[in-house]
């Protein structure tokens, strides 16, 4: 892992980072071509791309409901129990995020409020490839179900036999997914956004994917909603002398094993301690089933930041703005106030990032690439929309009329001001033209 040794008073900066971004120009160009082709040719294009990229011929993309019913019997009891436990805790957490419509009435009779409605449909992208992710189904579908979304569509690349992993199907059943299609990549995003003969379009697309999926989400954003454009996964571990180097090492590796582009940061206070962590990484690699991916990630994207003080360390954390932040330090809760930028914060030695990935309850779809500076985890809010509600009484209009007219006049919007002035006239004179109704009817007055 690369090292940065900060001097006393030296600030960590973005220049120390080596981020790759969510996608590159090649991915953006390729995704653009795929999306236009799917829009033009529909299912025929989906079949061609599925055969080209996944090596599978698929005639009917939709997974029959019968496959959902029998999925549980094809998965180990331990996995089913784990999925159900995770689902219960994820659902409970997200239930607490639900917002209700609200209305408030002022003393002058004006009613204002917010009407909260679930989206009609969402599409969830579940990656395939290096690993299978039933947890992604839970983390995306359950908040949508809690929000009240009626149509929840899952797309995922087909397995070599053309089907879908049974654990993913079981997660779909548990989570309330209503449709499942065996299509992945940028072509799946295009199908969700614009529809094909077999896949109806959705209002919003969520879920992680590779660079081509990320690029496709960027392209369709605006025509449909998206949650975020997710880049490579990240973890930052702040470790003091109380942290066991073996645990810190395995926590770094738990992120590195996702992808060679995954970024792992260790923020610590002593070079000897950093050496100890790296030695434990080598020891763990000997047993890892994903050693090649893990080693590549740590070698190419790993960074150790050696600080002098905790204050300097927390400033480094806020510059990194990591997707996952582990405060593997004594009295971790005391540092919570110093964290300004992080997707999810894991406090103390007994809280590895893995619990957040699976069962703790908070969502594991998190802002990456430093976007935690302004972005938040996936939540129930992503699956609802809000309409403002306004109802004025005559008294409320009379109270606010002058302010509206003055602001409209300042902005040069004549009809804005006139629409209020005419109502004000009606209240004051009985005529929208500022005179008695009888005079208006007889045509008198310059405004008649």
Q: For residue 55, is it left (φ>0), alpha (ψ between -120 and 50) or beta?
A: left
* Beta sheet of 111-118, edge-to-edge order: 102-105, 111-118, 384-391
Which residue among the candidates 234, 323, 326, 382 is catalytic per the annotation? 323
Tokens 């160009």 belong to residue: 29
Active site annotation includes 51: no
Closest CA to 91 of 384, 354, 380: 380
What the block records as the tokens of 64 is 């029959």
DSSP labels, 357-383: HHTSSS-S----TTGGGT-----GGGG
Burial 26-51 (b: 16+ CB within 10 A, else e): ebbebbeebbebbbeebbebbbebbe
Rounded CA gap, 413 and 420, in Å?
12
Catalytic residue chosen out of the listed positions 170, 234, 315, 324: 324
Q: What number of CA atoms fall less than 13 Å from residue 197's CA on the CB side?
A: 11
Q: Which residue has the tokens 């609802």?
A: 384
Active site residue 77: no
Residue 406, CA distances (Å) to 112, 277, 401, 427 in order? 22, 66, 9, 19
Torsion of CA 30, 36, 37, 41, to 10 degrees: 160
Q: Are 241 and 273 in contact (CB under 8 A)?
A: yes
Return d(Cα 117, Cα 114) in angstroms, integer.
10
Count of CB atoms situated within 10 Å of the CB of 412: 8
Q: How far apart are CA 323 and CA 345, in angstroms?
A: 9
The set of catalytic residues is 323-324
């Amino acid at each position: 892992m690369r090292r940065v040794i900060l001097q006393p008073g030296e600030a960590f900066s973005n220049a120390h980072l080596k981020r790759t971004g969510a996608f590159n120009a090649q991915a953006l160009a390729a995704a653009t071509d795929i999306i236009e082709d799917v829009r033009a040719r529909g299912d025929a294009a989906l079949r061609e791309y599925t055969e080209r990229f996944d090596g599978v011929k698929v005639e009917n993309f939709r997974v029959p409901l019968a496959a959902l019913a029998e999925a549980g019997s094809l998965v180990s009891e331990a996995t089913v129990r784990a999925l159900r436990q995770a689902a219960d805790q994820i659902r409970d957490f997200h239930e607490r995020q639900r917002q209700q419509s609200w209305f408030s009435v002022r003393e002058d009779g004006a009613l204002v409020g917010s009407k909260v409605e679930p989206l009609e449909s969402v599409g969830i992208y579940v990656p395939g490839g290096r690993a299978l992710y039933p947890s992604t189904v839970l983390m995306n579908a359950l908040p949508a179900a809690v929000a009240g979304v009626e149509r929840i569509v899952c797309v995922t690349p087909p397995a070599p036999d053309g089907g879908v992993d049974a654990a993913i199907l079981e997660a779909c059943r548990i989570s309330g997914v209503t449709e499942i299609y065996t299509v992945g990549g940028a072509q799946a995003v295009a199908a969700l956004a614009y529809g094909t003969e077999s896949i109806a379009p959705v209002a919003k697309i969520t879920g992680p994917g590779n660079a081509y999926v990320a690029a496709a989400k960027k392209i369709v954003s605006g025509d449909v909603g998206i949650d975020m454009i997710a880049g490579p996964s990240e973890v930052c571990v702040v470790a003091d002398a109380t942290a066991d180097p073996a645990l810190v090492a395995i926590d770094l590796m738990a992120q590195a094993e996702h992808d060679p582009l995954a970024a792992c940061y260790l923020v610590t206070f002593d070079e000897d301690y950093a050496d100890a962590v790296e030695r434990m990484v080598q020891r763990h690699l000997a047993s890892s089933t994903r050693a090649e991916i893990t080693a590549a990630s740590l070698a190419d994207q790993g960074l150790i930041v050696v600080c002098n003080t905790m204050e300097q360390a927390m400033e480094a954390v806020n510059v990194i703005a990591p997707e996952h932040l582990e405060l593997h330090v004594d009295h971790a809760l005391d540092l919570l106030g110093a964290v300004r930028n992080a997707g999810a914060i894991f406090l103390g030695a007994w809280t590895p990032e893995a619990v957040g990935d699976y069962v703790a309850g908070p969502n594991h779809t998190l802002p990456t690439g430093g976007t935690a500076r302004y972005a938040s985890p996936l939540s129930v809010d992503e699956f609802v929309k809000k309409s403002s509600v306004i109802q004025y009484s005559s008294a409320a209009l009379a109270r606010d009329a002058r302010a509206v007219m003055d602001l409209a006049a300042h902005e040069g919007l004549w009809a804005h001001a006139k629409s209020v002035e005419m109502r004000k006239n009606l209240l004051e004179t009985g005529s929208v033209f500022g005179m008695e109704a009888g005079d208006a009817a007889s045509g008198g007055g310059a405004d008649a």
